[in-house]
Structure 1
Amino acid sequence: MNFEQFNDFEVKLTFEPAPRPQRVHIGLVQLANDHTLETDWSHLLGEQAALFSTRIFKENGMTPEALDSVAASISDGAVLVADGLPMDVMAFACTSASIIIGEQKVSKLLTKGRGDIPTTNPWSAAQAAFKHLQAKRVAVFSPYPTEVNFPLREQLIDAGFDVVAITALGIMDDNIIHKVPLSTFEQGIEILLKDNNVDVIFMSCTSLRAVENIQHLEDKYGVAVVSSNSALFWHSMHLCGQTANCPGYGKLLSGI
């Protein structure tokens, strides 16, 4: 069968393009060495949102220099997110890099080539979540070294929050953060709550495997717990005028 014969043999169809599914479309730029966010969000997305992501390189090491260098790749990563499909919101998934690079700069880099749409990152999302929960006194569970925790505290104070305590693991290797166990979460939270009046506990870093444990921790300690990944999902939905409804994953995601 030659081409002309095949052209006659082939049955040509036409179709009316189906509308885009009625759910929030989240475009995500995440780091190559984030081992947790997609698993965390697999519990949260359901039918309310669709995730479209890409990854960018980050040199291993939790140093301000390595985190700041990520900025050079954010825009290139953003334009690769589902090319040709409009997003409702663009998110950048690194808390510490957002602190070091700056929230406004991250936002500009995310929307380069994507149009005028809302943007978020875990650092901006966490602060918005604290305000939503009417939480003033923040205690932080951090995997970071001191060089990252210091600007974290300073920026929270500048935003009007009281940082009552920080526990720090001082991890330098990005590939270790996702291995922090629940027992260490509990140990840190017990220290954070001792002799402190705490409104919310912030578990910082998208690589911490915290989302699946948030409800357990809230039930055990009687205080709101917000992780980078829970805040980022909540804020992505919030910026699109939607309420994240994920029962069983803590107060922030309860749909209230």
Structure 2
Amino acid sequence: MNFDQFDAFEIKLQFEPAPRPERVHIGLVQLANDHTLETDWSHLLREQAALFSTRIFKENGMTPEALDAVAASISDGAVLVGDGLPMDVMAFACTSASIVIGEDKVAKLMTQGRGDIPATNPWTAAQVAFKHLGAKRVAVLSPYPTDVNFPLRQQLIDAGFDVVALAAFGILDDNIIHKVPLQSFEEGIEILLKDNDVDVIFMSCTSLRAVEKIQYLEDKFGVPIVSSNSALFWHAMHLCGKTAVCPGYGKLLSGTVI
């Protein structure tokens, strides 16, 4: 059978394009050495959102220089997300890089060529989440070394929050952050709450495996807990006019109006 014969043999079908599924489309750019976010978000997405993601390179090492260098790859990564498919919101998944590079610059890099759509990152999202929860006094549980924690604290203060305590594991190796266990979370939170009046605890870094532990930790310590990954998902939905409904993952994601 030659091509002309095959062309006559082939049955030509017609179809009407189906509408886009009725769920929020989130475009995500994450770091190549993030070992946690996809697992965390697998518990949250359900039928309320669809995720389209790509990864970009980051040199191993939690240093301001390595974090700042990520900026050179953000726009190239963002343009690869869901090529040909409109996104409702773009999300950049690195808290510390957002602090070092700057929230406004990250947003611009994430949305180049995508029209007028919103963008978020864990650092921006966390601050909006704190305000949503009515939290003024923030305690931070951080995996970062001191030279990353220093601007984190200062930027929270500049945003109008009281940083009542900050405890850090001082991890330099990106590939270790996801290995911090629940017991260490508990020990750190106990230290943060001792003799401090705390409205919210922020577990910073998308690589911390915290989302599955949030409800347990809130029930144990009696204080709202926001992680980078819970804040990022909540804010991405919020920017699309939706309420993230993820019962069992803490007060922020409970779906209740505060």
Which structure 2 residues correspond to residues 33-52 of structure 1 after superposition, within 5 A? 33-52=33-52
Amino acid at match of 1:163: V
Amino acid at match of 1:145: P
- SS of 2:252's equivalent in the other structure is helix
Note if contact 1:78-1:114 (Cα within 8 Å) is conserved in structure 2: no
Which structure 2 residues correspond to residues 62-211 of structure 1 after superposition, within 5 A? 62-211=62-211
Taking only aligned residues, the RMSD between alpha carbons, in angstroms, comes to 0.4
Note if contact 1:60-1:173 (Cα within 8 Å) is conserved in structure 2: yes
Amino acid at match of 1:15: F
1:232 lines up with 2:232 in the alignment = yes
The separation in 2 between residues aligned to 1:113 and 1:92, in whole angstroms, is 16
Identity %: 85
Amino acid at match of 1:85: L
- SS of 1:151's equivalent in the other structure is helix
Residue 227 of structure 1: CA displacement?
A: 0.1
Partner of 1:252: 252
Residue 39 of structure 1: CA displacement?
A: 0.2
Residue 191 of structure 1: CA displacement?
A: 0.2
Q: How far does the alpha carbon of each residue in 1:110-167 deviate from its partner, in whole angstroms, 9 at most, with x for none?
A: 0111111000000000000000000000000000000000000000000000000011
- SS of 2:21's equivalent in the other structure is coil
The separation in 2 between residues aligned to 1:103 and 1:20, in whole angstroms, is 30
The separation in 1 between residues aligned to 2:66 and 2:113, in whole angstroms, is 25
The separation in 1 between residues aligned to 2:13 and 2:164, in whole angstroms, is 65
Q: How far does the alpha carbon of each residue in 1:189-219 deviate from its partner, in whole angstroms, 9 at most, with x for none?
A: 0000000000000000000000000000000
The runs of at least 4 aligned residues of structure 1 exceeding 3 Å deviation read none
Unaligned runs of 5+ in 1: none
TM-score when scaled to structure 1?
1.00
The separation in 2 between residues aligned to 1:116 and 1:68, in whole angstroms, is 25
Amino acid at match of 1:202: F
The separation in 1 between residues aligned to 2:114 and 2:203, in whole angstroms, is 30
The separation in 2 between residues aligned to 1:31 and 1:141, in whole angstroms, is 21
The separation in 1 between residues aligned to 2:254 and 2:157, in whole angstroms, is 27
Residue 16 of structure 1: CA displacement?
A: 0.3
Partner of 1:53: 53
Unaligned runs of 5+ in 2: none
Q: 244-253 vs 5-14, which deviates more?
A: 5-14
The separation in 2 between residues aligned to 1:125 and 1:148, in whole angstroms, is 18
* Aligned length, in residue pairs: 256
The separation in 1 between residues aligned to 2:34 and 2:116, in whole angstroms, is 27
1:11 lines up with 2:11 in the alignment = yes
- SS of 2:92's equivalent in the other structure is strand
TM-score when scaled to structure 2?
0.99
Residue 32 of structure 1: CA displacement?
A: 0.3
The separation in 1 between residues aligned to 2:11 and 2:102, in whole angstroms, is 55
Residue 89 of structure 1: CA displacement?
A: 0.2
